[in-house]
Amino acid sequence: MAITGIKGFNDILPGEVEKWQRIEATARRVFENCGFSEIRVPIMEKTELFARSIGDATDIVEKEMYSFVDKGDNRVTLRPEGTAGVIRSFIEQKLHAQDPVAKLYYMGPMFRSERPQKGRYRQFHQIGAEVTGITNPRIDAQILVMLCRFFAELGITEPTLQINSLGCPECRPAYRAALKEYLEMRRESLCDDCRRRIDTNPLRALDCKVIGCGEATAEAPSVLQHLCSGCDEHFASVRRHLDATGTSYSVNHRMVRGLDYYTRTTFELVTGLLGSQSAVAAGGRYDGLIQELGGPKLPGIGFAMGVERVALLLSDEGLARRPDLFIAAHGEAAGDEAFRLMILLQGEGLRVELEYEGKSLKSQMRRADKLGARYTLVLGEDELVSRRGKLKEMASGEQQELPLEPAALARALSCS
Ligand code: ATP
Ligand code: MG
């Protein structure tokens, strides 16, 4: 019996991969225009890095991590998200010594042991960005505008931007206490997870997908009413910059995010098209994380988007790769010449194919059709003698006669 892949770990095949390439190329272009550089960090880190940064009482660390003990007795984890590794590297490689302001982006696989379903997998991919060393709310707005521009450039207009502020260590404890008190009074209506969260992570109850919890917390106190003046002003400035740049958003005071390190601004891009997998991208400010991980006292902000979810929203129109030219040949000598021309034209940057296994002319033309070749060229005895051939445009059926010369052919193919 053939060996299958692991459940929740997907293959990305030709036909689908073109979407991924477009998503990645668009991210690179849009992010680099905003001054970001790529960073590549390992997919495995010490388990304690994630436990310390993401937080012990989060779903990710409690239930979703792929952790194991390696042969050297080290506790290691396949990364469930990208921020922890990037910040670990920022500190370890002392990037802050050259410049406390780093603007970094990354893309690659992440691993979470969740129940696989549409838009939720065990190996999935994120494209994310992080900025260190800037407190000014203009950078919050820059990141949000950049994210919206990325989606606009892909022609994806549906997700909407929701923003919130989670306050800071100064004002959040009072909010946490108020929320805890509110939840305590409704303990009976909450799910088991949320009852536990009352003590460990009460904010998460606002985000619970169980309907009863949604109803029980409908009137819960709002974090925005508990912000200290610094956080309140910061959030007002972010909104002002979004307004000034014509970026649409809504404020959602119930959005709490699943990672402990967030402070102040948090945000999500939310779609109605993917069922309960509604968050396409998410992020926020993490002003305490760099120090928490042993680095200097510098603020940070970042986001990550799920590439599978972006791909589900992206139309595949115009993405299929088609050969510019398919060369069909009749006879052995013509086959050799077709091969030589193909190699030369590929060198000119054209996508050119032929049939390797010497089939009939008719079956070669069927293959040209199947591949969707824009042009075909048929070589036989006559063409070899005259050194001229007929280039046929498949869509219109129009033919033009040309010398069998790479330069002339390349010119004709590039003109269209
Ligand atoms: P969700 O609420 O859907 O579980 P999350 O809050 O766990 O999302 P983050 O940790 O903020 O998600 O990750 C950012 C993005 O990564 C999400 O918005 C989503 O697009 C994507 N993502 C997260 N988990 C998965 C997964 N298991 N499979 C596919 N994409 C995922
Ligand atoms: Mg999740």
Instruction: Using alpha carbons, select from 86, 97, 92, 99 the residue that is nearest to residue 304.
Output: 86
Instruction: Give me the DSSP letters along 299-329.
Output: -EEEEEEEHHHHHHHS--TT-----SEEEEE
Sorting pLDDT into bands at 50, 70 and 90, what band is 83?
A: very high
Mutation to probe ligand 1, out of 110, 166, 278 (largest number of atoms < 8 A from CB): 110
How far apart, in Å, are the Cα atoms of 236 and each of 143, 158, 173, 287, 305? 16, 25, 21, 18, 25
Instruction: Using alpha carbons, select from 331, 349, 336, 350 the residue that is nearest to residue 391.
Output: 350
Mutation to probe ligand 1, out of 112, 114, 147, 312 (largest number of atoms < 8 A from CB): 112
Asked if the model's pLDDT at residue 251 lies above 90, the reply is: yes
Instruction: Using alpha carbons, select from 196, 197, 202, 144 the residue that is nearest to residue 173.
Output: 202
- The angle at the Cα of 313, spanning 307 to 317, to the nearest 5 degrees, equals 110
Residue 277 CA, closest ligand 1 atom number: 3
Sorting pLDDT into bands at 50, 70 and 90, what band is 56?
A: confident
Q: How far apart, in whole angstroms, are the C-alpha atoms of residue 11 and residue 44? A: 20
Query: For residues 179 and 202, is the Cβ–Cβ distance under 8 A?
Result: yes
Query: For residues 130 and 36, is the Cβ–Cβ distance under 8 A?
Result: no
pTM (2 d.p.): 0.93
The answer to whether the CB of 45 is under 6 A from ligand 1 is no
Give me the pLDDT at residue 140, please.
98
Residue labelled with tokens 């002392």: 94
Sorting pLDDT into bands at 50, 70 and 90, what band is 90?
A: very high
Query: For residues 403 and 388, is the Cβ–Cβ distance under 8 A?
Result: yes
Q: Residue 160 Cα, ligand 2 centroid: separation in angstroms?
A: 19
Give me the pLDDT at residue 363, please.
96
| pLDDT per position as a tens digit, 282-305 | 999 999 999 999 999 999 999 999
| Mean pLDDT on 117-139 | 97
- What structural domains does the chain harbor? 17-171+227-313 (3.30.930.10), 325-415 (3.40.50.800)
Give me the pLDDT at residue 308, please.
97
> In the predicted model, what is the mean pLDDT of the chain?
95
The answer to whether the CB of 311 is under 6 A from ligand 1 is no
Q: How far apart, in whole angstroms, are the C-alpha atoms of residue 197 and residue 190? A: 10
Asked if the model's pLDDT at residue 378 lies above 90, the reply is: yes
| Mean pLDDT on 10-37 | 97
Residue 281 CA, closest ligand 1 atom number: 18
Asked if the model's pLDDT at residue 269 lies above 80, the reply is: yes
Q: Provide the 8-state DSSP code for 120.
A: B
| Mean pLDDT on 321-327 | 95
Q: How far apart, in whole angstroms, are the C-alpha atoms of residue 28 and residue 125? A: 15
| pLDDT per position as a tens digit, 357-374 | 978 999 999 999 999 999
Give me the pLDDT at residue 179, please.
95
Q: Residue 282 Cα, ligand 1 centroid: separation in angstroms?
A: 8
Q: Which helix (H) or strand (E) holds 160?
A: strand 160-165
* Chain mean position to CA 356: 38
The answer to whether the CB of 280 is under 6 A from ligand 1 is yes
| Mean pLDDT on 165-177 | 94
Residues of the chain above pLDDT 90, percent: 89
Mutation to probe ligand 1, out of 60, 78, 126, 285 (largest number of atoms < 8 A from CB): 126
Give me the pLDDT at residue 416, please.
60
